[in-house]
Structure 1
Amino acid sequence: MSIATSQTDRLGANPFVVDGPFIAGSGVPAPIFALGSVAGGDREAEWVYCRLVLASQTTLQPGQWFQWTRDYDASLLTTAAAVVGQRCGVFAGAAQPPTITGGPIGSITLAAGTYYVWLQRNGQAPGQVSTATAALVVAETTTTAGLANAPASATVGTKAIANVNFAAANQTFTATTVNGSPVLTALSGLSANSGPFIGAAVSGTGIPGGATVTGITYTPNGVVQSVTLSANATANGTGITITATGVLEATLMRPFLSKVN
């Protein structure tokens, strides 16, 4: 399995570009597309064009969960704010110079303002998950904005996220580490575009505790070439087993909020 990477059926649509911020009276037309427009891509992917109003500086990470209203006003998904019946999906990542920081198909930090984003509702995508068991029986909301949960049984008081499943509780692959370097190379055991993903926690021999994925480079055909971590490796190693958790490969089937568990 692998995540969706392209789009073709809406002229000019690019779900990896965040439009905005737009200032009233500036003469710049906004939004670029009609709210609720759908762009399609490979691997059954569908993205929906939504409005996102930010009251303060906010960092969007690949795999964050959003819900949106009938008017396509989006907000980060939390248990407290979740509305049963509303559609939900994930932010698949940004690929343009943002207002403050960001990078190719990665996180994006935005100043307060009004933005327009493509949120993925169908196909294969990264999904942020806090607790993921081997069973991955249910998907549900959490108290943390944009973070889902996938325990073996439902948690009392959460809202269920219907029509989503996850490939596995974690991902393992092998890599070469260099003492003092944050870059993992000579990767093996990965499928094209299937992860690991930006923001995933990683562990393994010579990997400092709490390290996460901050950057990924690809070959021209989409195979992961190297992975950059948030901390330097503490030892040299070849064929080291690396485990990535927290951002999993999700299969979305137009998910929605169904009930209180």
Structure 2
Amino acid sequence: MSDKPLAGRAAIVTGASSGLGRRFAHVLSDAGASVALMARRVDRLADEVAAIEAKGGRAIAIPLDVSDVSAIGPAFDKVEAALGPISILVNNAGVGGEGMALEMTEETFDQTIAVNTKGVYFGAVEAAKRMIASGVAERGEARIINIASIAAFEQLGGLTVYCLSKAACVSLTKGLAREWARPRIAVNAICPGYIETEINSDWFGTEGGQKQIKGFPRRRLMDEDVLDEALLMLAGRRAHFITGTTITIDDGQSL
């Protein structure tokens, strides 16, 4: 098999300015895909594009707040104009939605659902329209990968709204996979456990964070690279027969 299995494919990664999104963009590029990095923090995107290009990859940066549904279509149009037909979408953008129910504000609730659920849904819809129109779907190369969480299946303290948003993400993954089975668009989700990233490093450095880690069966956090193989499988040719699936990778944290 070629060491560039995604050569000739155009991919989008949302929330690509840091953390897992940044990692996904590099992994897809290393596998040969041309990658559009999308996020609100445009300055960070430019740095990542430069890093990918320094390795010989092809990448572009496009600002996008996925909670603004009206902006998703025009952003995807820019990708097609620059990189060609979209064949891979990684719906990675997400927010935490922290807060106890009695203190939860309507603003935080709405923002969590807008990014973690609504943005995922309409991002998938916009990608699917283009995948069908361009013939990518007919060739069996259409891949939509939603990044959910073990929070879709677990009730995490102080994260009721976040859990709600990720459970909805898993549900819409299965629903869209069913709708788009005959057009041959593979829609799947990855459900990670706790991974040490920029977003949570401060918390896990505290006494409370360390106590949480000690409560995990293996008493550790996962590394950012643990999702690489699942991402490449769901983005590549093997996913021709995988759709409506959720892959949980959590080091046993949910046991």
Higher strand residue share: 1
Higher relative contact order (CA 8 A, sep 6+): 1
Higher helix residue share: 2
When the two structures are superposed, what TM-score results if normalisation uses the length of structure 1?
0.27
When the two structures are superposed, what TM-score results if normalisation uses the length of structure 2?
0.27
